[in-house]
Amino acid sequence: MRLEKYIGSRAFYRKLYLILIPILIQNVITNFVNLLDNIMVGQVGTEPMSGVAIVNQLLFVFNLCIFGGLAGAGILTAQYYGSGDSRGVADTFRAKLYIAASAAAVFIGIFLLGGETLIRQFIHEGGEDLDMALTLRHAKDYLEIMLLQIPPFALQMAYSSTLRETGETVLPMKAGITAVLVNLILNYILIFGKLGAPVLGVEGAAIATVIARYVECAIIVVWTHSHRSKNRFLETAFASWHIPASTLKRIAVIGLPLLVNEFLWSSGMTFLGQCYSMRGLEAVSADNIRRTVSNLFFCAFLSMGNAIAIIVGQILGAGELERAVDEDRKLIAFSVVLCAAVGVVMGLFAPLMPRVYNTSDNVRSLASQLIVVTAVFMPVYGFTNACYFTLRAGGQSFVTFLFDSCYQWTLVVPLAFVLSRYTDLPLVPMSIAIECMELIKCILGYYLVKKRTWVKDLVNG
């Protein structure tokens, strides 16, 4: 094996860093503040932390559906931009606005009508004497307020994804940093009742998040419209609300499997959380700590995935197919190495992070062990995620659907269901067994990328 096939030039890494670093910084800061937010709520007690964790798992499904719903249009946006077609970018941006508004309306309706029913699926007795009714009350209070952040989140996703796909990665980063700082400051004030404010607990955390979402949305929308010379797609984006039938067909063919995929994958992850909750509320709290801490480190492969989608998508749109294959190979290799290094750091911090939570020693111990399990699998996540975004960049949305959510619901979810309902396997061994399924997915991802069915110019032929 020749290592030079997997190592790029200085120019290659310079281009990668220009795209990756702003996305990575934004994701790290966002998730770091989410970690601080989680810790602040955790200071109020285990029940409030569990209630917030349950709601955030439900909102996670919405977040991923917005991501998946916009992804099909985003693939075309990157390729239209790579081919210099600003009118095509405008059409896909207009489609994103329709998709974002529709998804927001659907999920607000679902949470208004069935929010309490969904929350109750995660509340079970465990080995510790935790108040289930109090947990339910905190979760309901948090969800009612958090519904207000859905519209601005959906709108800013439509704008910020288009900006990234057309080469502007710094502004979304700045807006994200501003929003998380606003969220952090307001969390401190409203959760604990500082500077004369009332002590609002989980409701204060929700209010802070809502305000931060509106701040982020306002910054992105105002900047985009005040820099029209940089964002040429705005010249025709609002001239009409019509979208050409050919563009709609392309978005539907590419995007529908991605939307269904993200819905099924995110709901599958939420179902895994529900399976873990069968081991009691302490399992919910431990898994919440693991997820929150892990999300900070997951920024490595998630940001690389976005970078792969943008870089490979633009090269494919320019018609340089062999160059796309070469650079994608190097991007995947870089993702694995990066995630291996991040996994080592994550493992070192595993015993320390849960200690800052105001919870029991048992919950802290379970959380530490779960974080170690996740750290070990980081390079595997880096590889499978890079394979997913490679296939997606080439418009292989149905293949990614099979690779991602179908794999999860046919193998991973049934295993979690059986282990949680029909065995007495403790939380940590159950988690290890479930994570090992990612190794099979790793082999499948290698095969699919190697087949090169994703090497296509979607906008020019």
DSSP 5: G
**Cα separation, 80 vs 93, whole angstroms:** 11
User: What local confidence, expressed as pLDDT, does residue 429 receive?
Assistant: 94
| Joined tokens for residue 378 | 């980081």
Residues 47 and 195: beta-carbon distance below 8 Å: no
Specify the higher pLDDT residue, 204 or 80: 204
Specify the higher pLDDT residue, 345 or 167: 345
Residues 303 and 25: beta-carbon distance below 8 Å: no
Contacts of residue 117, Cβ cutoff 8 Å, sequence gap at least 6: none
Residues 15 and 163: beta-carbon distance below 8 Å: no
Work out the angle at residue 329's Cα, subtended by the Cα atoms of residues 327 and 330, and round it to the nearest 5 degrees: 65
**Cα separation, 73 vs 250, whole angstroms:** 8
Q: With a cut of 60, say whether residue 195 has pLDDT above it.
A: yes
Q: Which of 228, 330, 343, 289 is nearest to 52 (CA)?
A: 289
Alpha-carbon distances of 211 from 51, 186, 196, 218, rounded to whole Å: 21, 9, 19, 11
Q: What amino acid is encoded at 101 in this protein?
A: A
Computed over every residue of the chain, the mean pLDDT equals 86
- Give burial (CB, 10 Å; 0-12/13-18/19+) of 241: exposed
Tens of pLDDT, residue by residue over 216-275, are 999 999 999 998 878 888 887 787 788 888 888 888 888 788 788 888 888 888 888 889
Q: With a cut of 80, say whether residue 442 has pLDDT above it.
A: yes
Q: Does residue 403 belong to any structural domain of this protein? A: yes
**Cα separation, 287 vs 293, whole angstroms:** 10
- DSSP run (H or E) holding 417: helix 413-422
Percent of the chain with pLDDT over 90: 32
Tens of pLDDT, residue by residue over 292-330, are 888 888 888 888 988 898 888 888 877 788 888 888 899
User: What local confidence, expressed as pLDDT, does residue 34 receive?
Assistant: 67
Task: For residues 336-345, give the mean pLDDT.
Answer: 94
Q: Mean pLDDT lowest for which of 73-87, 100-114, 435-449?
A: 73-87
Residues 286 and 53: beta-carbon distance below 8 Å: no
User: What local confidence, expressed as pLDDT, does residue 184 receive?
Assistant: 87
The pTM (predicted TM-score) of the whole model is 0.74
**Cα separation, 348 vs 150, whole angstroms:** 36
Q: Report residue 33's pLDDT band, with 50, 70 and 90 as the boundaries.
A: low
Task: For residues 164-170, give the mean pLDDT.
Answer: 83
| Joined tokens for residue 75 | 């693939």
Distance of CA 295 to the CA centre of its chain: 9
Q: Which residue has the tokens 């704008």?
A: 159
Q: Does residue 456 belong to any structural domain of this protein? A: no
User: What local confidence, expressed as pLDDT, does residue 130 receive?
Assistant: 64
| Joined tokens for residue 423 | 């065995």
Rounding to the nearest 10 degrees, give the CA dihedral for residues 192, 196, 200, 206.
Answer: -90
**Cα separation, 392 vs 398, whole angstroms:** 9
| Joined tokens for residue 410 | 């046919």
User: What local confidence, expressed as pLDDT, does residue 419 receive?
Assistant: 94
Q: With a cut of 60, say whether residue 366 has pLDDT above it.
A: yes
User: What local confidence, expressed as pLDDT, does residue 144 receive?
Assistant: 93
Residue 193, Cβ neighbours under 10 Å: how many? Answer: 14
Q: Which residue has the tokens 């070469």?
A: 326
How many domains, in total, are found in the chain?
1
Distance of CA 3 to the CA centre of its chain: 32
Q: With a cut of 70, say whether residue 460 has pLDDT above it.
A: no
Specify the higher pLDDT residue, 419 or 249: 419
Residues 220 and 156: beta-carbon distance below 8 Å: yes
Residues 388 and 400: beta-carbon distance below 8 Å: yes
Contacts of residue 166, Cβ cutoff 8 Å, sequence gap at least 6: 77, 81, 89, 231, 233
Work out the angle at residue 68's Cα, subtended by the Cα atoms of residues 62 and 74, and round it to the nearest 5 degrees: 135
Q: Does residue 458 belong to any structural domain of this protein? A: no
User: What local confidence, expressed as pLDDT, does residue 89 receive?
Assistant: 85
**Cα separation, 226 vs 164, whole angstroms:** 17
| Joined tokens for residue 39 | 């810790």
User: What local confidence, expressed as pLDDT, does residue 133 receive?
Assistant: 83
Q: Domain residues for 71? A: 3-451
Residues 429 and 366: beta-carbon distance below 8 Å: no
Specify the higher pLDDT residue, 444 or 71: 444
User: What local confidence, expressed as pLDDT, does residue 126 receive?
Assistant: 54
User: What local confidence, expressed as pLDDT, does residue 46 receive?
Assistant: 75
